[in-house]
Chains A and B, each alone.
Chain A
Amino acid sequence: MKPPPFDYHAPRDLGEALAALAEAGPDGKVLAGGQSLIPLLNMRLAAPARLIDINRVAGLDTLSAGPEGVRAGALARHARVERSAEAAAVQPLLRRALRLVAHPVIRNRGTVVGSLVHADPAAELPAVLALLGGSVRLAAAGGAERDVPAAEFFTGPMESAVRPGELAVSAFFPALPPGSGVSFRELARRHGDYALAGVAVLVTPAAARVACIGVGPVPIVVDVTEQAAAGDWAAAAQAVRERVEPEEDIHASADYRRHLAGVLAGQALRDAAREAETTGVRHHA
């Protein structure tokens, strides 16, 4: 389990990193936390000709929380975001989702933006971004930047809108509106594994949404505002079951995953609605 040969670049600033990426084009791969990439390399499932290690790039290790939301830079590790009281106060779902991401050792190294770009449909953070309607900021050589909304960012299993030569420099997670509640529930075979199915839920005074993981090619966002307004959680769970597109794998049947998504959605909607009722949501974070 040793990787095939590759060229290694360790740029010191963003311009250098973007230039290296532009030069590499489709042969380039960004190394940040490496928690998914390194195993892929060692198993020779990925063989990029060039690795651009951004760990030394100045200005990417950022985390800011304001009234609008939380912005995490490309080198903000899971653990840092998880432990940030400011981030949790602005958007409590982040901390709750991050506690379900693998294990502490992996969270010490893995990055929030890296997880989004990796776009595993069973991962927690893509669902959080999709549920909240966040965005990812992409930069390219020459200074061009674009913000891609979550709804356009996840294009397929392990596929995102990042183009060759682009670097995801930050991600933005909108704040929790007043009078709202959130919840993340999932079921994994072992503690810290990718979930068989899971849901992130947002209930605001105006809307209720569920984002499902592990049951489709990308995080599947289901609007259950109508059912939530009526307090009909069973109907909301049914709506989720009808929308998800689970597949069978060695760990669970498609039927079971569909069932589970509904059960978890019902449970999480109740959690979130209860939280929305108690305005002191931020203290629960």
Chain B
Amino acid sequence: MTRLFGEPVPRREDPRLLTGQGRYLDDLGQGALAAAFVRSPHAHAGIVDIDLSAAIDVEGLVAVYTWEDLPERVGAPLPLLIPHPALTHGRTAYPLARDVVRHVGEPVVMVVARDRYVAEDVCSLIRVDYEVRKPVVGVPEAAAGAHLVHEDVPGNVGAHLVQEVPAADGRSAAQAVEDAPHRLTFRLGIERSASMPLEGRGVYARWDADDRSLRVYSSTQTSTSVRMALAARFGLPLPSVEVIAPDVGGGFGVKIVHPWPEEVLVPWAAMLLGREVKWAEDRREHFVSSAHERAQEQTVRVGFDDEGRVLGLDVTILHDHGAYTPYGIIVPIITSTQLLGPYRIGAYRVEFSSLYTNTVQVTPYRGAGRPQGVFCMERTMDRIAAHLGLDRTTVRAANFIQPGEFPYDQGLIFQDGRPLIYDSGNYPESLRLLKELIGWDDFPARRAEAAREGRRLGIGIGCYVEGTGVGPYEGGHVQVTSDGRVHVSTGLTSQGQGHETVFAQIAATELGVPLERVSVVTGDTRRFGYAVGTFASRAAVMSGNAIALACRKVREKALRIAADALEADPGDLEVADGVVRVAGSPGASIPLATVAVLANPLRYAFDEETGRATQFAAGAGMDRPPVDEGEEPGLEGRDYYSPIRSTYASGMHAAIVETDPDTAEIRILRYAVVHDCGKLINPMIVEGQIHGGVAQGVGGALYERMVYDGHGQLLNASFMDFLMPYATEIPLIETAHLETPSPLNPLGIKGAGEAGVIPVSAVIASAIEDAEGIVIDRMPISPSELFDLRRAPAPG
């Protein structure tokens, strides 16, 4: 078999993307009309009047729309994508605000003009009269419930969910905490950040009036679902709608939400006007009109024994959900379930309230609730270690699920609606590797040496388990054409992960063809119509396995046809370098290209090769139809992968930080990652995913936050004040891989996309706490905040 699976094959998309040959949304439709939006300047207000009179004479203006102009189905509230019984008060926005705006940035008026300059000029001339209401900003205000985001949602509580796994003897978690030899209670907090892809959202739509079909390009993580949503909203037959995700400059979760208001309105305007229309989101719009994540306040009650084993854990979470809940309560569900990490917990109760605030809505951002859950559990582990005077790794090891205990049922329901059962893992070995990589046991000597130079060092650790590869399914289609090329397509989308490379590696390995012959198309509904999307570290697991299964079908068919032609038994055949041959008999062979020709019986020849498949050429006997019963013409196969439940990757990170005794600067000196995502398809790409994830994690730990004032104004809505880290802020990342295959899928793989980001805040908090001897219970932390903490009176 061609050795490609598992090899660090260079990313095939990079030469194109790195030399400016990428085709992103705003590279398309250069002649299209431009859309721009009047957005609410208020966090909470009633719309009294919209006055267009100053705007309508601007040269180049084509159309202006308010909610009143939208037909019923177009103007209906956006869908609540993932309903859940606990989401008793789910609320979504209208495509354009109707009567009330609930966050700064909510779209109120759509303008279509000759170009974006004119469109923005018109926006600035439209006068909207607002009746300003008291906004609800932040978790404490939302929980107080004195003012409401939605008049019909009492207490601002959109959802409330309790999950409990009692102790083996039936005692409740609260009782288990109560009965434990040691007990601690404390609060933790995480602030908002956001996906913040370098390319914002964007939509470009073309209506073909001649054949009444709509083509939409969207910078999305799910083209198939955008397609279905638009067909339904516009009442168009599904086959008349095509949606294509072109090159997408990052998604990180925000682009899985759909359809966005602009995703509905731009195609609708294109249909109405009979003109191409495009909207490319600018950075300020992205800050105030897309989605954020992360903000939670957590209360932890934990009971443990002398070895630090957790006997009872009781966590209450207040989750800031922003103004709307289009993506349901996936984020707090993931926090609640993935909080458990690699640990066997005696008894566990978790309760969350999802609270509305007059801020940008909260939907998944890489990690999707896990960073908050891991922060909670890992801070808890560190508190237990401090309380007992034990090494922090000793306490973790005492709680690990052991390699012999898989499959391990945590007793909860995960985000895919299925039981939280870990399929495989080896946590003690991960910890051993990590301690070796970072030099955990040698650190006290290093710290002492630094202290003699007046420097302050600390070491921190964080462990996590990540449910990846959630269903329901993905599919793959593989076609070998008569030129010997292999065309692979899958419906899910790409945002730079390297799918063109890894899916080709899988196909080349399965089919026994050179990598160069394989091409991969993703996210284009013209090529593959059935898909879910790219999120939750699922693309490799879902489409990777589907493509492998489709390849196996193709290979089987190729062997059948080749066996016929070579008069051999299919079981004696092998495929290598694109040639089918009889094992051990090098002379008896037939290229896959020829097999593809034979697979498609022809009446008409168009070249010498295809002439071999026409009706007067030598071929099948006269007693069989040209296409056998149960066969289809062509050498192609389609298959789907639909897992019984998610597969659980895991990892552990450690960092050494230095805090400046004078300036309170925080520097990461070393960052080590041990990562287990089962079988590696391409170790280089996995490392790249980890590097990017850690970089985003460092952003969330030390730099990024969404600073809202009491009026609900986002004060740092630009890259000047929202401190996304540069390469200069990211430490060298040292990685080691462990490969514990998943028993759940044919390739034995687990997802890797979100891994890097998940434990970083926990790790950095742990290290700062170690360096400073000050409890760190909120992240992110800035030098100014560390300075304040140093001067704050010691608690108690």
Contact = CB atoms under 8 A, between A and B. Distances in A.
Interface stretch (B361-369, B673-681, B715-723): B715-723
B210 interface: no
Contacts of A196: 783-784
Interface of A: 1-5, 43-44, 187, 189-193, 196, 250-253, 255-257, 259-260, 263-264
B349 interface: no
B664 interface: yes
Contact of B665 (A187, A192, A253): A187
B134 interface: no
> Nearest 6 CB-CB pairs, A to B?
A191-B728, A252-B784, A256-B784, A1-B282, A2-B117, A250-B707
B185 interface: no
B662 interface: yes
B788 interface: yes
A44 B782 CA distance: 30
B121 A190 contact: no
B124 interface: yes
A190 B784 contact: no
B284 to A, nearest CB: 6
Nearest to B115: A2
Contact of B662 (A2, A5, A252, A263): A263
Contacts, number: 66
A186 to B, nearest CB: 10
B112 to A, nearest CB: 15
Given A4-B124, A43-B284, A263-B663, A189 B782 contact: yes
A253 B663 contact: no
B723 A193 contact: yes
26 contacts: A1-B283, A2-B116, A2-B117, A4-B120, A4-B124, A43-B284, A44-B120, A44-B124, A190-B729, A191-B729, A192-B728, A193-B720, A193-B723, A196-B783, A250-B715, A251-B721, A251-B723, A251-B784, A252-B784, A253-B784, A255-B788, A256-B783, A256-B787, A257-B784, A259-B787, A263-B662
Given A256-B787, A259-B787, A251 B782 contact: yes
B725 interface: yes
Interface in B726-770: 726, 728-729
A190 B716 contact: no
Interface string B687-731: 000000000000000010001000000011010110101101100
Interface in B476-499: none
Nearest to B664: A256
A interface: dominant SS: loop
Given A4-B124, A43-B284, A190 B783 contact: no
Given A250-B715, A251-B782, A253-B788, A192 B723 contact: no
Contacts of B720: 193
A191 B726 contact: yes
Given A5-B121, A191-B729, A250-B721, 13 more contacts: A1-B283, A4-B120, A4-B121, A187-B663, A189-B723, A190-B728, A191-B728, A196-B783, A251-B723, A256-B664, A256-B783, A256-B787, A259-B787
Query: For chain B, which range describes its interface: under 10, 10 to 19, 20 to 34, or 35 or more residues?
Result: 20 to 34
Interface string B273-307: 00000000011100000000000000000000000
B192 to A, nearest CB: 13
Contacts of B284: 1, 43
Contacts of B663: 187, 260, 263-264
Contact of A252 (B121, B715, B728, B782): B782
Contacts of A43: 284, 718
A253 B792 CA distance: 14
B206 to A, nearest CB: 23
Nearest to B786: A256
Given A1-B283, A43-B284, A190 B120 contact: no
Contacts of A255: 787-788
Contacts of A4: 120-121, 124
Contacts of B716: 250
A3 to B, nearest CB: 8
Interface string B190-207: 000000000000000000
B789 to A, nearest CB: 11
A187 B662 CA distance: 12
A224 to B, nearest CB: 18
A261 B283 CA distance: 33
Contacts of B788: 253, 255-256
A192 B724 CA distance: 13
A2 B729 contact: no
A43 B287 CA distance: 13
A190 B782 contact: no
Contacts of B783: 187, 189, 196, 252, 256
B307 to A, nearest CB: 41
A43 to B, nearest CB: 7
A190 B725 contact: yes
A1 B279 CA distance: 12
A2 to B, nearest CB: 4
B286 to A, nearest CB: 11
Contacts of A260: 663
Contacts of B725: 190
Contacts of B723: 189-190, 193, 251
B134 to A, nearest CB: 23
Interface in B632-671: 662-665
A263 B725 CA distance: 25
A21 to B, nearest CB: 25
Nearest to A194: B720
A247 to B, nearest CB: 13
A257 B784 CA distance: 8
A43 B721 CA distance: 14
Contacts of A1: 120, 282-284
A43 B715 CA distance: 14
Given A4-B124, A5-B121, A190 B787 contact: no
**Which of B124, B720, B721 has the most chain A CB atoms closer than 10 A to its own CB?**
B721
A4 B716 CA distance: 23
A257 B663 CA distance: 10
Contacts of B117: 2-3, 5
Nearest to A267: B662
Interface string B515-538: 000000000000000000000000
A1 B726 CA distance: 23
Nearest to A197: B663
A192 B726 contact: yes
Given A43-B284, A196-B784, A253-B788, A190 B703 contact: yes
Nearest to B727: A191
A265 to B, nearest CB: 12
B233 to A, nearest CB: 29
Interface in B93-122: 116-117, 120-121
Contacts of B703: 189-190
Contacts of A2: 116-117, 120
Contacts of A259: 787
A187 B284 CA distance: 27
B717 to A, nearest CB: 10
Contacts of B787: 253, 255-256, 259
A274 B721 CA distance: 36
Contacts of A251: 721, 723, 782, 784
A252 B784 CA distance: 5
